[in-house]
A and B are shown apart, each in its own frame.
Chain A
Amino acid sequence: MAEVTLVGAVNMALARALSDDENVLLLGEDIGVDGGVFRATEGLLDRFGPERVIDTPLSECGIAGSAIGMAAQGLKPVAEIQFMGFIYPTLDQIISHASRMRNRTRGRLSCPMVLRAPFGGGIRAPEHHSESTEAIFAHIPGLRVVIPSSPTRAYGLLLAAIRDPDPVVFLEPKRIYRVVKEEVADDGEAAPLDFCFTLREGIDVTLVTWGACVEDTLAAARELAEEGVDAEVIDVATVKPLDMDTIVASVARTGRCVIVHEAALTGGVGAEIAAQLASEGLLSLLAPVERVTGYDTIMPLLRLEDRYMPSRARIKAAARRALAYG
């Protein structure tokens, strides 16, 4: 078994999907000869050729729109947008076409495509390169929005996304692309979509998070343990549709919940989770739901980005507040 990073696992899953299914193809800017700016597609052009690993023009709307045309023909395009900050030209195609092709045609045509993009801050990247706007996509009926947070889950979830018969927006937390290495078996096993992963069990407070914040949240949980606080950590993984059953069941045990995400507070996916907890888990809540998130500001340039991101300290403070309540 190979020890791989998260981005290495993405590469492994792409290679596996390309070799298992001739309908799978990749398209995006600089993904071929260059292997992708993060090297997620390194070596794939050589292995699978330029017809299936396509270096496209600089044309985000074109990448998404042509992928829809391919997908309606039964191909399984995996389109890469180089950074999430450049994904917005695809919104018309994704919202007006990809997400509703099946619905509009009563199942006659469908759109089994994946739109991959690295997202989030923390790598001291230039302006527009650090955004977390998953909530925009999570708002759209007909889409799935999937966010891995470890090499193992990146491999399994990406395979699942590619095999899924409907469009999936697959957001890769680039801050942890190379932070953790894990042994990942290239066994072609997909991980379940629409399903939360409980990464740490605990009885005092439920910490709910996804993406790069999973690492920080796990670290915060370890530090809280030293204070005698036993935190449960849930990686939401699929932020659309949400697996509320797992979250509600956890909060039923702990009575307290802290939601952690890098995206801005207002209208974030955390707001939806909090709202659903309020309607489905109200009686088990012993404290108000806390949210530790990016601020409702423009993602700052790199000098201030650390002050924007939810820090371990902020996560711990919120957990302590929840525990102290009432």
Chain B
Amino acid sequence: MSTVARFEFRYTRVLDPSGALVGELPDFAGDREALVDLYRGMVRTRRFDAKAVSLQRTGRLGTYASSLGQEATSVGIGAAMAADDVLVPSYREAGTQLWRGVTPLEILLYWGGDERGMDYQVPREDFPISVPVGSQALHATGCAYAFKLRRQKRATVAVLGDGGTSRGDFYEAINMAGVWHVPAVFVVSNNRYAISVPLRRQTAAQSLAQKAVAAGIPGEQVDGNDVLAVRHAVARAVARARAGEGPSLIEALTYRLGDHTTADDASRYREEAEVSAKWKEDPIVRLRSYLANAGLWTKADEEKLLEEVEAELTEAVDAYLATPPQPPEAMFDYLYAELPTALVEQRRLAAGGEDDEDGGDG
């Protein structure tokens, strides 16, 4: 008998849950500003999520998918990307989107039911979030193909959940990316659940990183609650992609501390004890402990940051609540580049609401 191939998967962790340095400190982490930026990104994401959830609870926002507990993965991905890279996100990556310049107002508009929330003013080429789980991975492959064809040194980063890796299109995406050797990075934010389905019912594989093997691309695992590790690993993969060295797959091991969405009740399928144990791995506490122990963060710094974030987000919420809905004919106005003749009459009817006795809102 002979061995055809052997595979190994790297696992990266820089800080342990207590904030102690247990791995090699990446270069960027020598700079206080860089660390504080990551910390601010995570705090901002958590506050944003909290505001969105409370808007939903008070009937002022539609269903919302919070990233509570997953901020290190989300923010680490954002920090690893360059402005001209392209993000292809799932619906749970507000942290990455906010980092890249999508505004809190845009995200609120989206979940509040307004398509204008996908017309990002800053990362103009980023994809809107994808609700059909895993389907977005393929867009990253195609987008990265465009970069390669045009000889642009840019990378595409797709983010999906552990549930998404069970879908055929995820496999098709990494397989094609491997064959085409395109600058794409696939990050699986493994928060251990797909709604109620735990990872062990999602796959018999020991890791999701190893799914890379089937596609012939590098795969690795990272502590997804360690923002330094996530940023470091994703940046490494992005650099490889930009250097023409092809795609990779990163599995970030994290945990969803909240419900799947505001429409979910996680107590139906998991024990409170499991969740409270996981709170001990809170990514925000972890970095704050590291910063504080290193003498880089004071109580005053913390208070100032919270104030700034609160002010920004309060303003965004106010702006969201003050934004009137689009006129009904907006349904037609972006359907095609030009409205086909066949739709002119329907648009007129929608705009006028003639047959709606109560003006179209009943």
Interface residues of A (CB under 8 A from B): 25, 51-52, 54, 56-57, 59, 61-62, 64-75, 77, 89, 92-93, 96-97, 102-110, 141-142, 144, 164-166, 194, 241-245
Contact = CB atoms under 8 A, between A and B. Distances in A.
A108 B120 contact: yes
B340 interface: yes
B337 A166 contact: yes
B340 A194 contact: yes
A141 B340 contact: no
A73 B125 contact: yes
A137 to B, nearest CB: 15
Given A68-B139, A96-B135, A102 B119 contact: no
A97 B336 contact: no
Contacts of B342: 194, 241-244
Contacts of B132: 92, 96-97
B120 to A, nearest CB: 7
A97 B127 CA distance: 11
B142 A66 contact: yes
B142 A67 contact: yes
B334 A62 contact: no
A107 B119 contact: yes
Interface stretch (B53-61, B173-181, B204-212, B241-249): B173-181
Given A61-B169, A102-B335, A194-B340, A66 B135 contact: no
B187 interface: no
B259 interface: no
Contacts of B16: none
B115 A103 contact: yes
Contacts of B116: 106
Given A61-B138, A108-B124, A56 B176 contact: yes
B128 to A, nearest CB: 5
Given A70-B142, A104-B118, A109-B127, A61 B334 contact: no
Nearest to B149: A51
Main secondary structure, interface of B, reads: helix
A108 B88 CA distance: 15
Contacts of B130: 97
Contacts of A25: 149
Given A65-B138, A106-B119, A142 B336 contact: yes
A104 B128 contact: yes
The 4 A-B pairs of least Cβ separation, nearest first, read A69-B142, A65-B138, A62-B172, A66-B142
Given A102-B334, A166-B336, A243-B341, A75 B149 contact: yes
Given A62-B173, A66-B141, A141 B119 contact: no
Nearest to B140: A69
Range for the number of chain B residues in contact with chain A? 35 or more
Given A59-B175, A72-B139, A73-B146, A142 B169 contact: no
Given A72-B143, A74-B146, A106-B116, A65 B169 contact: yes
A223 B140 CA distance: 55
Contacts of A96: 131-132, 135
Contact of B146 (A56, A70, A142): A70
30 contacts: A57-B172, A57-B175, A59-B176, A61-B138, A61-B168, A62-B172, A65-B138, A68-B138, A69-B141, A69-B156, A70-B143, A71-B142, A73-B86, A89-B168, A93-B169, A96-B135, A102-B334, A102-B335, A102-B337, A105-B119, A105-B334, A106-B116, A106-B334, A107-B119, A108-B118, A109-B127, A142-B336, A164-B337, A165-B337, A166-B336
B149 A241 contact: no
Contacts of A56: 176, 179
Given A65-B135, A105-B334, 7 more contacts: A62-B169, A65-B172, A73-B147, A104-B118, A109-B128, A194-B341, A243-B341
Contacts of B147: 73
* Residue from the set B119, B156, B342 with the largest chain A CB neighbour count within 10 Å: B342
Contacts of A142: 335-336
A141 B331 CA distance: 11
A36 B147 CA distance: 26
B144 interface: yes
A286 B131 CA distance: 49
Nearest to A71: B142
Contact of A92 (B88, B119, B135): B135
Contacts of A74: 146
A66 B335 contact: no
Contacts of B145: 66, 69-70
Given A59-B176, A62-B169, A107-B119, A241 B343 contact: yes
B216 to A, nearest CB: 12
* Residue from the set B86, B146, B147, B335 with the largest chain A CB neighbour count within 10 Å: B146
A56 B145 CA distance: 12
Contacts of B335: 102-103, 141-142
Contacts of B140: 69
B127 to A, nearest CB: 7
Contacts of B127: 72, 109
Given A97-B135, A104-B128, A69 B146 contact: yes
Contact of A93 (B138, B144, B336, B337): B138
A169 B298 CA distance: 60
A321 to B, nearest CB: 29
A293 to B, nearest CB: 22
A155 B247 CA distance: 38
A251 B102 CA distance: 53
A59 B173 CA distance: 9
Contact of A69 (B119, B120, B143, B340): B143
A141 to B, nearest CB: 6
B173 A65 contact: yes
B149 A69 contact: no
Given A56-B176, A59-B175, A62-B176, A92 B341 contact: no
A105 B142 CA distance: 18
Nearest to A108: B119
A53 B142 CA distance: 14
